Structure 1
Amino acid sequence: MTGVNDANDGRPSIPEETGSAAAAVSGANATDTEETLGSGSAGANDVRDEAAQVADPWTVDPWEDDDILDGYQRATVHLGPDTEGADGEAVATFVRKDPAKLGLIERLRRLRLRMLGKPLAIMYLHGWNDYFYRRHASEYWESMGVAFYAVDLRRYGRSYRPGETAGYIEDLHAYAAELNALRDQIVRDLGDDVRILGIGHSEGGLIMSLWANRERPHHVHALALNSPWLELQGNTTFRLISTPVLKGFLLAGGKTPLPLNDPGFYGRTIDKATGGEWDYPSSLAATGAQFQPRAGWMQAIFNGQAEVAAGLDIQMPVLVCTSDRSMMQGTWDEAMRSCDVVLDVTAIREAALKLGDLVSIARIRGGIHDLTMSRPEARRQYFGIVTAWGGQTAWRTFLPGPAVQAALRRL
Structure 2
Amino acid sequence: MKKIYLFLFALIALPSTAQSLIFEGKIVDKTTQESIPFANILVQNSTQGVISNEDGAFKFYIPKDAENIEISHIGYKTQVFLVKEIKAEPVTILLESDEMALEEVIVTNKPINQILAGVLLNSKNQLDKSIKLETYYREFVQINNKYSKFADGMIDFYIQPKKKEKVEGKLVVNQSRAFQLASDDEIEKKGKADLAEMDSFFDIQKAANGFFTYEYIQTLSSEKANENYEYELRSKKDQNGNTLEVIYIKPKPNVKKALLTGKIIYDPIQKVVLDIDIKMAENHKQYVETINALIMKFAVHDIQIKQTYKFINGKYIPGYRKSLIDLHIKFGKQMNDRMMCISDLVVTDFTDDVSSFPEKNKLFKERNLYSNGMNFTENFWETNNALPLSENEERILQTLKSK
Superposed pair shares fold, TM > 0.5: no
Which structure has greater helix proportion?
Answer: 1
Which structure's CA Rg is the greater one?
A: 2
Which structure has greater strand proportion?
Answer: 2
